[in-house]
Amino acid sequence: MVKVAAVQMRSNGDMSANITALERMVGEAAAQGAQYVQTPENTGIIQNDRALYRASLHAEQDDPVVKAAAALAKRHGIYLHIGSTPIKLDNGLIANRAFVFAPDGPKITTYDKIHMFDVDLDNGESWRESDTISAGDRAVVTELPFMKLGLAICYDIRFPQLFQAQANAGANVISAPAAFTRQTGEAHWHILQRARAIENGAFLISAAQGGLHNGNRQTYGHSIIVSPWGKVLAEADHDDPAVIYAEIDVADSTAARNKIPNLKNAREFKLETIGGGTDKA
């Protein structure tokens, strides 16, 4: 058994204030015995003003969130998973990048969000992540002493093939730390999280942003931990900052996959599209 935690935040445009919140909440999780702690997408900053956003960013080696996270992991002796924070790239674009740090501080791995949130929602809400974010092209599974962890970020949750690939590579815990909009969260958050856990016979841990950011962006919250059988083990049933916990045993993933061996039973197939009408003179 291992105790895991998901940190629900309300990040804003002040990176220093976000780091202070990160330090406090990760410290709280560690004090409660969590050995793995996950934070949400955009832990370091949420800022809709594009000029201010760009001006706040750093290359990875200089990023204050990355430095703070490495120090936190070492201070508390935990595996710390920063769900993502924006990183300035040499090509002028930005990586929406996740980090996993070891208990002695070093970075274990990173993951850059693959799927860009380019959508037009009701009531005029529109997003074009690809205008500023450089999409990743590699899926990641990282092996920790007590789990094999698949990394994903927010909109990735709508692409089941990513998680199936991770499960087939041995992941028994998957993740999708997020900054879901309130509109899409109310409609789809819970069913997507539970579906990915069930499909892959894996625990799912998704820390979320929640509430009103900078007075003009609202996220759904409801950070969640789900069992391989689809049971919600813990949830922040609101959008306020919070830490949620669960004790997990990855043997439950093996048991779920033995009961429903859909990963083993998957087959390759051909797809045919066949017309049903007839030509008329």
Q: Which active-site residues does the annotation give? A: 41, 113, 154
Quick check: helix, strand or coil at residue 214? coil
User: Phi/psi at 116 (nearest 5 deg)?
Assistant: -90, 135
End-to-end CA distance of the chain: 71
CB 116 within 8 A of CB 158: no
* Euclidean distance between CA atoms 30 and 25, whole angstroms: 9
C-alpha Rg value of the chain to the nearest Å = 19
Nearest CA-CA partner of 3 in 25, 44, 28, 36 = 36
Beta bridge partners of 111: 98
* Euclidean distance between CA atoms 48 and 79, whole angstroms: 30
User: Phi/psi at 258 (nearest 5 deg)?
Assistant: -70, -35
* Euclidean distance between CA atoms 65 and 84, whole angstroms: 10
